Structure 1
């Protein structure tokens, strides 16, 4: 049996965007079970299950919680959950405070409980392990890192989790993000919606819909953003002409590049180079 937990003092700096209050790691601990009334816990409560089985009760429903699943309760919510007696959890958890307007936190606030699957290979274990190490030998100078690690965990889940009854499974999210990485790395190519869709094997219609859900923007908007980022780097780090920069960044016409650049950056490429170039 392993039952490790830490309680952290209120941080000396009061302006962290998020901060852990208590955290722990339980393995082979079948007695792990909680039942808290409405208003009892004044912090968010996040649990990630890396092995074993357990359950959460929510609005009269018993929700199985096994490997690769997690739950997030908001402040003050009624909570009832526990480990399976014969196959106890390997669970990592943290109670924390934050005012961040992240969608998963807003979902938990609105439904009084957010239940999800998460990507076991997204590095969450190592983030928790570092928080554990800092908590075990707590020093006030560790506070910024503890806050940063918690923030990284929340953003990681934002990208690598999906509601239990979600519309876009994790494997599809991975496929879309892999396509986005290729587009970013090769943004100078003459991409079309059809050629971008082929990267993930979906039809143009489905790719457009899925890309908008996963990446928060259309494929063409994402491509333009990547091209503009490359153009800005070329402007400040090379002596290429504006027309050459436009070509290398993937814009077919210099005049169109100048128009798009000014719309997005508020000044034309030459002025951007003068302002930020070495």
Structure 2
């Protein structure tokens, strides 16, 4: 009797990464499970929305927004999706950062690099799963959006910019590995925060209040107000304005809608308030931003 051997699929760098760039960024929407596979490039995954399980080298991690995963060359991993999952993939050949990494086979091989030397002693056995919460999560998402915009636009010097951003991204990853959220009095809030931020981002255009979040989370408005200030460094209202203005900026740059209609669509019925907050946040009026296109 002959036994058939099911060979694990290996994704090849040439199919996903342009060889003259050595880095690629993708925004993906996963609705079905991804079977176990491996690849000959480095893969970073940031979960932007949804929930599920990510298995790396036989170890399973529950993931949601704010979770960051590192898969090196030869690592085996798979996705099990519970809710529609949106995530960003950053793929790169190891020599994109340094020629010293051309034969790397474990995450820890990054640490002897001069760039990351200071992390070496405290991270003898780096985890492939890193959790970002609170203000650190917001800062990470801004960095990832900046990287994605740079990669898509491909303006002069974009590879040099992406090299710097990738270095910053890995340094933040190693730093967060060192950080222990269990010491925080607000550790429950940290883990609840991604769902609340996603709720705001789905309802920001309407009249959304702390009472709405309280009904959604079963915590008091007072506790949520404290959570926003201590976890993110700014208030609930400031975060709602930030989400609205980021969307307004995107619409100004990507659509031909009038400034007034854009203001209304992101939640500002008062045109004066929209103009004031926009200039306060971006240092220019909506019209001035459009003229820079």
Question: TM (normalized to structure 1)?
Answer: 0.48
Larger Rg: 1
Which one has the bigger helix percentage? 2
